[in-house]
Amino acid sequence: GENVEQHPSTLSVQEGDSAVIKCTYSDSASNYFPWYKQELGKRPQLIIDIRSNVGEKKDQRIAVTLNKTAKHFSLHITETQPEDSAVYFCAPYGQNFVFGPGTRLSVLP
């Protein structure tokens, strides 16, 4: 069956530091790798994604890296700000619409 894991489950960083969240998956046929951000009381929203033909993609302070051989991809946030505090989910496509269990990021002022 589908197996999507995220590490860590919770992460606290000081404002201005970097944060990295890793997602591992089981289906080697997955070809699309998105990250979603869910702020408190809000809906999950797509923030960045990557396809299997590239290894890294960057959008301002956030980036996603992909290692298809090892079946994991990571979300990188640099120069963290308080508004980055949220729960982050990965959802590799092809895993029967399964989302990872989420990572709660807290950015401390």
Partner 1 sequence: DTAVSQTPKYLVTQMGNDKSIKCEQNLGHDTMYWYKQDSKKFLKIMFSYNNKELIINETVPNRFSPKSPDKAHLNLHINSLELGDSAVYFCASGQGDYGYTFGSGTRLTVV
Cβ proximity to partner 1, 29 vs 109, nearer residue: 29
Q: Tell the smallest beta-carbon distance from residue 97 to partner 1 (Å).
A: 4
Cβ proximity to partner 1, 15 vs 39, nearer residue: 39
Task: Characterize 80-106 residue by residue with b for buried, 16 or more Cβ atoms within 10 angstroms of its Cβ, and e for exposed.
Answer: beeebbbbbbbbbbebeebbbebbebe
Cβ proximity to partner 1, 29 vs 70, nearer residue: 29
C-alpha span between 90 and 73 (Å, rounded): 9
Cβ proximity to partner 1, 10 vs 67, nearer residue: 10
Sign of CA dihedral 62, 2, 72, 8: positive
Question: Tell me, what DSSP letter sits at residue 70?
Answer: T
Q: And the tokens for 69?
A: 């051989």
Q: Tell the smallest beta-carbon distance from residue 25 to partner 1 (Å).
A: 14
Residues that bind partner 1 (CB under 8 A): 31-32, 34, 36, 38, 42-46, 49, 51, 87, 89, 91, 93-94, 96-99, 101-102, 104
